[in-house]
A and B are shown apart, each in its own frame.
Chain A
Amino acid sequence: MVSETIELRGHIIDSLILPKVLDQILTHGANFKIGEIKIGERRADQSFARIEVSADTSEALDELMLRLRQHGAEVIERANVQLAGAPADGVFPSDFYVTTNQQTFVRLDGKEIEVRPAMSNSAIALDRKKESARAVKFFDVTKGDEIVVSHQGIRVVPVQRLTTHTDIFQFINTIVDADEPKSAIIRELGEELRRAHTAKGKIAIVAGPSIVRTGAGHHLARLIEAGYVNRLFAGNSFAAYDVERALYGTSLGMNPDRAVARGGHENHLRAINTIREVGGISAAVRQKLLTRGVMHACVRHDVDIVLTGAIRDEGPIPGVTTDVIEAQKVMREKLADVTHVMLLATVQHSLAVASMLAPTVKTVCVDIDPTAVERTVEHQPLQAIGLVTDVEPFLQELADYLTESRVRE
């Protein structure tokens, strides 16, 4: 979406110039927002209107501006962005502009350039030759790169709430507490995922180890098998627990089906060792060593697995990215085309992912800790639902709804 601000002055009410201009904006498929309007009080008094006009493409906007100028619209020239060179590799100039995850444009030589990707807590690097603007992290910047400083020449377009249709994200932007009913919301969420699946949206799951420890892994596997997961983000421990559960029936020595497990804590390390021995999770599936569980379902159904490490990790399991900078890059890349995210029972990983999401990504956060839910939902104020609940009944109900209603169809 690109936009310009126009001003209309004169007897624009009596001459019907204001309604004509507004009608023309709409009939050309563009939108307007009236910023200011002053109506003349006496007959000879002139009126004034300032209107922000937005269109899908700059070509469409230019053509529309040409038409509106004919009716007296004056396009307000905006200032260009201010730039300063990065003083050293990995260092932004002081007073650098800090991005939000909203759609952002910078104005250079009278032209608006969209900043890509829409990523929060970054600076903006400008490439004059390519006429491109890119949101950059510290590690992306090299000495001399032109970085946007101050707030001049920057336009942020916040995501608007859709009015054309209502889905669960349109009428619930809140947190459902532990003592509130959840079934209806889970069913609505199921419908949303089904629509996303049909529309070839990309659904990502951020999975915490509690999913395996509470015995909810097989519900998640059912969602994967039914095609409702395109990408899985997890830590080394999730993968290790899931493999341990698949190989020994335990996770970190605990058996969700029995009160006491044999082997105890050792199983965890033996599971990691097995995967290290064969070279990775995919190899373990190929060699039929790993025949069930979430990781198995992911390999069998071509789900992209993005595993990242933490200091407490054992192993790690091959394929886990342990360099945090590298992990950020990989996660960003793998989140770029995601339309729906479910953040399940993992605070730190959920916060990391939520901070990388575009504002349009529909987000569900499930955690037993209300604070964790609140903190995560804050990142997506218009497109997030939080459910304070144990993840196991949530996943069970969702998987039941999606797989059983699929059978009914």
Chain B
Amino acid sequence: MRELLLCPPDYYGIEYEINPWMNRAHGADAALVQKQWKQLHAQLSNLDCDVHLIPPQQGLPDMVFTANAGLTVGREFIPSNFRHKERAGEQPFFAKWMEEHDYEVRWLPKNLYFEGEGDALFGGDALFCGYKFRSDIQSHRALADILECLVISVELADPRFYHLDTCFCPLPDGSAFWFPSAFDDYGQRAIREHVTGLIDVLPEEAVHFSCNAVVIGRDIVLPEGAPRLVATLEDRGYRCHPLPMGEFIKAGGACKCLTMFMPQREKC
């Protein structure tokens, strides 16, 4: 059974603007926020996942996006060093919670920005890590030192897809679906060299955060608005569970951003 960490959206809202999706003039609808989040929670619970909840904190509206809390491998938790001061306050709460749940906290050097699973996803036998907008490439090397695994660093080129998990979603068979133009040429080549059976997501579907999906075995929980992708995934034998995520996309997040794996992998 996969263990997941979610954070109830009690204090969620568009209170600042730190990515191109955020606009304080278009705030979130609190009732709809609760409804969409509960649908996600229910869907993941139905997929036989053990869903843990971390208490939300007032003044930290983005704490709901637990994927950015850090990266968990086995019983080790590597907390994020958030680039934006608006989110930096989340770090101690996540680290404390993980420690209290018997994870060994492995800190990265403070001067290296790293935004957790948002920019670090295992695919095949490599850990794919995005850099530029939020995480520094130097943090990838620190991860490789801690985890002793192959880290493929890819540069993110489109500010709308500022985290790796907004444009790349590895699948358990070693393939992945992705939005190629979110990466620079070298990043695209590196991914193509290391991932077989790539599924390209159309631009009109990628903007619905279709790559921001939670994959549990053969089940994929993803935002609605990507019928072509869903059809392709179902052709490959996956069961897709599209969910309305509009209130979270307003902040630049969706299903995957709202979910952290505990752990993402047992070992590298």
Contact = CB atoms under 8 A, between A and B. Distances in A.
B138 A15 contact: no
Contact of A15 (B125, B132, B145, B190): B190
A14 B140 CA distance: 13
A20 interface: yes
B186 A17 contact: yes
Given A72-B137, A72-B153, A46 B144 contact: yes
A344 B148 CA distance: 68
A14 B129 CA distance: 12
B153 A15 contact: yes
Nearest to A17: B153
Interface string B121-140: 00001100000100001101
Contacts of B153: 10-11, 15, 17, 72
A165 interface: no
A57 B125 CA distance: 43
A71 interface: yes
Interface residues of B, number: 25
Given A9-B141, A44-B268, A72-B141, A14 B126 contact: yes
B151 A11 contact: yes
A19 interface: yes
A19 B155 CA distance: 13
Nearest to A15: B153
Contacts of B157: none
B150 A11 contact: yes
A11 B144 contact: yes
Given A43-B125, A43-B150, A10 B140 contact: yes
Given A43-B125, A44-B148, A44-B268, A16 B141 contact: no
A19 B186 contact: yes
Nearest to A24: B186
A405 interface: no
Contacts of A10: 137, 140-141, 144, 151, 153
A16 B193 CA distance: 10
A43 B140 CA distance: 15
A301 to B, nearest CB: 58
Nearest to A71: B137
B137 A14 contact: no
B268 A11 contact: no
A70 interface: yes
A362 B171 CA distance: 64
Q: Which of A9, A70, A71 has the most CB of B within 10 A?
A: A71
B150 A14 contact: yes
A46 B153 CA distance: 12
A397 B144 CA distance: 70
B149 interface: yes
A11 B138 contact: no
Contacts of A44: 144, 148-150, 268
Nearest to A23: B186
A175 B212 CA distance: 71
Contacts of A19: 186
B158 to A, nearest CB: 16
Contacts of A43: 125, 150
A20 B186 contact: yes
Interface string A156-181: 00000000000000000000000000
A278 to B, nearest CB: 76
Given A17-B186, A44-B268, A72 B151 contact: no
Given A16-B189, A43-B125, A44-B144, A70 B150 contact: no
Contacts of A14: 126, 150, 152, 190, 193-194
A70 B113 CA distance: 12
Nearest to B153: A15
A230 to B, nearest CB: 51
Interface string A29-43: 000000000000001
Contacts of B187: 16
A46 B154 CA distance: 16
Contacts of B125: 43
Contacts of B190: 14-16
A14 B141 CA distance: 13
Q: Which of B132, B149, B186 has the most CB of A within 10 A?
A: B186
Given A10-B144, A15-B153, A15-B154, 5 more contacts: A10-B141, A11-B140, A70-B132, A71-B137, A72-B137
Interface of B: 125-126, 132, 137-138, 140-141, 144-145, 148-155, 184, 186-187, 189-190, 193-194, 268
- Nearest first, the 7 closest Cβ-Cβ pairs linking A and B are A72-B137, A10-B141, A15-B153, A16-B186, A20-B186, A16-B190, A15-B152
14 contacts: A10-B140, A10-B141, A10-B144, A14-B126, A14-B150, A14-B194, A20-B155, A43-B150, A44-B148, A44-B150, A46-B145, A71-B137, A71-B155, A72-B137
